[in-house]
Structures are given as C-alpha cells and as structure tokens.
Structure 1
Amino acid sequence: MAGNSRRRGAIRKAGSKKGAVVGSGGQRRRGLEGKGPTPKAAERPNHKAYKAARRADKAGDGAGGQRSSRPPQRRNKQSSEVIAGRNSVVEALRSDIPATTMYVAGRIDSDDRVREALKIAADRAIPILETPRGELDRLTDGAVHQGLALQVPPYEYAHPSDLIDPETPGIPLVVALDGITDPRNLGAIVRSVAAFGGHGVVVPERRSVGMTASAWKTSAGAAARVPVALAGNLTRALEDFRKAGFFVLGLDMDGDVSLPEITLASEPLVIVVGSEGKGLSRLVGETCDQIVSVPMSSAVESLNAGIAASVTLYEISRQRARA
C-alpha cells in the first residue's frame, strides 16, 4: 500500500528477497555430523550390560554366568569378603574370624542359628544392620544368604622380611607355599605351624590362595597368632631368606633326601610346600638347598599339601627337641 511504502524500514532493498538469505547458517549441517561409533553396551553407564560387567569384574562372573567383555583383572588378596548363609556365618563367628558388620534381612524367620549369630555378634560388639533382601542380594552377589551375611575385612599381611628377626625366640622355622590354591590347605598349614613352633607362613602374590574366611576358619584361630606374609616374587623371597642364613628345604615325592634323614633340622629353615598335582615349580626347586621326600607306602601316590607340611613340621620339631 502507498501509505506503508513510505514507512521507515518498509522498503525492500534492491536485490534482496523475502526469507533467509544464506540459509540456516550451517546449523542443520552441523547437527547431522556424526559423533563417532556408538559405544558398546558394556561401556554405557546407564545400560544393564554395563552394570553386569561391573559385577563380573567384582565377583569373577557376570549375571547368568556370563563373563565380562573386558580383560580379567588380577586378583587382589587385599579385597574384603562377604560370608553368606546361616551355617557359614555361625561357623565364622564361632571361629572368631574378624568381622566388621553383620547384615540381617528384615522380617527374617528366626531360628537357633540366627539367634546364636545375633548373640555372638552382640557379645563381640560387631555392628548389626537390618538390610532389605534386595540389598543383601547385591552385597552377596546373588548367593543364597538365607537372610544373613557377614562382612570380613581384608587380611593384613606381613612382609617376608618381618619373619627374618634375629630376636625371635627359638630356631626360626617358616613355611612357604608354592602354587597352593585351596584355602583349607592354607588354614591347615597355619594351624600346624602354630602347633609345632613355627614362626610364620609365606604365600606368593600370584597363583596362590590368600587368607580368606575359609582359610581363617580352618586354622581354628591359629591365624590370629601366626603371621602370614605376602611375597611379590617367591623365588626372590627365598633367596633373601638364604642370604639371612636360612636353609631352604623343598618337599617333593621325588626328593633326594628322606625326611627322617635330614641333617638341617637344627638350622633356621624355610619349608617350601608345592601343590599336590604339580609339586614345586622349576625356579623354586632350583632355589632350594635340599629336596626332601616324605616316606610312605607305595599304594599312596602323594599326600595332601597340608598333611605333608604337618608331617614335616612334626619331624623337625621332634629332632629339635632331641638336640
């Protein structure tokens, strides 16, 4: 209209056109640009596969027995442990296993085991927490907990050099484990070391059992008196013992010396016990001063590692008493 054409700003400049001149300024193009490949489900924090992978890293297996897609991590002997189940919890408390917390499901059906567990925990001033069953399922990684679980703190390992103490009363006697993976064997050996005057146990950091609740229970309380040392490299630890004046005796069914014939019983000793199946590893065997065998009937192929250690410790104790 004529009136509008004279209004300031209403006249269209020459060469211009109605609407956008240069488009969206590239916003739509940038919005369509790719952001890289979509991450795997196990790498997205909000995906259930990610949570399953985290549980698998913690417990060894994912939900439903599936392994995590990430490479397995080296086992850490310093990790805490949760004991699940009424019988297991009661037996652990009876064995005076150190515990930080006992978890009890809400509205649990009480029986003699639950009442005994509550009484022992109260007497030992162990905190008791009433926990929803869903939370107990998470804490025990889906184990059959029957409404009862016990948190066990990480075991405090000694250093192998702590067992080399010239002020130790008596003749030093140490047991080292090479490839022992059964916690009951470790517990039995700790108990035998305490019974026959030993001063400590050495376990390697890799390919070996640690001081779990099962090992503590099998030791029948001896783990509270006998230090267990953690060696980063068992062969190097044995060499350090030798430099400190110890003799290293390895147990093997094909040993050169029969146990009753050993002549080093009165010396500072490290007894190395290998696994029942594989025996001593090559490097450990080469580090030993003598390889000793336990005489037995030909009808028996080998002895359990815990029994072999007990027999050897008894014989050394007997010879020392006679000296």
Structure 2
Amino acid sequence: MARLRPKPNSTPDDVAFGINAVGMALATGHAKSLLYWRETQNERVLALVERAREAGLRVEGVDARRLDELTGDGVHQGVLARIRAIEPVDLRRVAAEAGERSLVLLLDRVTDPQNLGAVLRTAVAAGVDAVVLPLRRGALLTPGVHRASAGLSFVAPVAAPQNLAMAIRTLKAANYWVVAAEAGEGSELATAFDWPRRTALVVGSEGEGIAPLLLRESDFRVALPMDPRVESLNVAVATGALAYLWVRQHRPGGPGDGRAGQTPAVG
C-alpha cells in the first residue's frame, strides 16, 4: 500500500517513528529493525529497544541527525522502526463475513495524513469493519499516518486502495446502505437519522467534500447540526461524531434496529 513517489530528502515509506507508532509496530510484528538515538535517557525508548532485542530484531544506536534525516525532521522522539508492508483487508470478504450490524468507512479525497491518522484511531475505537481508501487523491499509509494514528494504522482494517464507486457497488450488493456525509438540500440531521444496520459511510475532505459520482451512488445524505457560525468541521472530527451516532444505535443494547429487512437497490 506504499505510495511510490520517491522525492529527494523525503521520508522513506517503510518506516514508523515516534514512541507510540514504533511500539505498535513491534506489538503487531510489523517492525523489521529499530534505530534509536544512542544518547537517549527516555525510559520508554529504552524499553522499546529492549523489546526489539528480545524479539531478535536488528537494533542500532545512531546520532540524532540520522533520525532527523530519515524522518524529514519529523517528531521522532528518538526512535524509528523499519517496517513490513501492511496487508490490506479484502472488502468483499469483509462484506460477506460481517454480522448484521456493520459499519464501513469510505474516505474520498482525504489527503492530510493527520486527518487519516485520526480517522483510523476512530475506526479502531468504534469497531469499524473496514476503512476504504481511494486509488487517487487521498492519503495512504505513510509514516505521518502511522504517527498521527499512534500506531493504530497497524491494526485498523484498511481495505486496499480502490475505485470508491466500485467499492460502493460491492457494498450495496452485500446489503449495505450508503450514507454520504454531505450538508445541503435533501440531507437529514445525523442526530435524528435512523441509521441502517449495515452502513457504508462516505466522508469527504473539508474543502472539496464528496465527489458528485459518489453522491449519486449514495442512498442517503446526512449532516451534523451546527451553529451557523461554524462553516464546517474537520473531517476527522465529523467522522468520529457520525461513527459514534451509528454505534449508539447499533451496539448491543442500543436503541432501534435501523432498516433491518430492507434490501437496497444495486446500481
């Protein structure tokens, strides 16, 4: 899933840096080797060094300048791991094996690594079954995303980058209803919306929103109620709020059964 766009002095795609991201890379078996600032006194970094050695990984102490170079002067906290590729989840398999209550996120034109990282943290916290990333015009699993997600990018169920319109059709065929997070005419208040048991939630960037093609493929549009002085919310904040509205309704013991029994049309 690495984005193959080599640039001079850029951060390599096969690294994770920062204490939380490296810790999760070690915990999930994605770390291949570890580099750390040889003069560090940080107990958390030293604990990661010990864990890596116990796991039989190559461990090397380097000067701070080397870590700065490898992270593009990112906030590395004195530790970096070389990582293995992250295996994507198969969207068709997820859709086929998900229970009667399932939430899938599709991210359209979300290009900021910080936003993607925050969305992945929400996805893990809320028990989302898959996060679908686009083939083009979107952030992928880069070192910045690993750091922004506190390493939860290593456990988030991310589907391979793909054509989002085709992904929507795949989900519709598996009895998901497609809900677009889009304000405007025809939108329902998300707080009053009767969320389908199997929901594919499409969210777009704060600036561009959701592409017209994806809006046409959607069954519903919802918007969060906001003070009129607020033009829009950060996509990560909005996604978290919408995901938990679904969770509130459809986790065991939650109110309502959504639109169980209805079958969406397959376009």
Indicate whether the TM-score tops 0.5: yes
1:109 and 1:283 map into 2 onto residues whose CA distance is 54
**Residue 107 of structure 2 corresponds to residue 177 of structure 1:** yes
1:296 and 1:275 map into 2 onto residues whose CA distance is 17
Of the three residues 246, 266, 272, the one matched with 2:176 is 246
1:19-168 alignment runs, 5 A limit: 59-61=6-8, 80-83=13-16, 88-96=17-25, 98-103=30-35, 108-112=38-42, 115-129=46-60, 136=66, 140=70, 149-165=80-96, 167-168=97-98
Residues 231, 237 of structure 1: 8 Å contact kept: no
Residue identity opposite 2:204 in structure 1 = G
- Which has the larger displacement, 307-316 or 136-145? 136-145
Q: What's 2:222 paired with?
A: 292
Q: CA deviation at 1:137?
A: 8.1
Change (3 A) 1:126 1:184: farther
1:192 and 1:267 map into 2 onto residues whose CA distance is 19
Tell me the SS of whatever aligns to 2:19. helix
Of the three residues 243, 256, 264, the one matched with 1:313 is 243
Change (3 A) 1:189 1:131: closer
Gaps of 5+ in 1: 1-56, 66-78
- Which has the larger displacement, 209-218 or 142-151? 142-151
Residues 187, 216 of structure 1: 8 Å contact kept: yes
Residues 80, 154 of structure 1: 8 Å contact kept: no
Q: What's 1:237 paired with?
A: 167
1:138-177 CA-partner distances (Å, limit 9, x unpaired): 9828758898542122222123213212x32341210110
Residues 250, 292 of structure 1: 8 Å contact kept: yes
TM-score by length of 1: 0.64
Change (3 A) 1:130 1:237: same
Q: CA deviation at 1:310?
A: 1.1
> Aligned residue pairs: how many?
243
Residues 235, 284 of structure 1: 8 Å contact kept: yes
Change (3 A) 1:225 1:282: same
Residues 59, 141 of structure 1: 8 Å contact kept: no
Of the three residues 192, 196, 205, the one matched with 2:122 is 192
Tell me the SS of whatever aligns to 1:318. helix
2:139 and 2:189 map into 1 onto residues whose CA distance is 28
Higher relative contact order (CA 8 A, sep 6+): 2
Residue identity opposite 1:179 in structure 2 = R
Residues 152, 213 of structure 1: 8 Å contact kept: no
Q: What's 1:277 paired with?
A: 207
2:80 and 2:152 map into 1 onto residues whose CA distance is 23
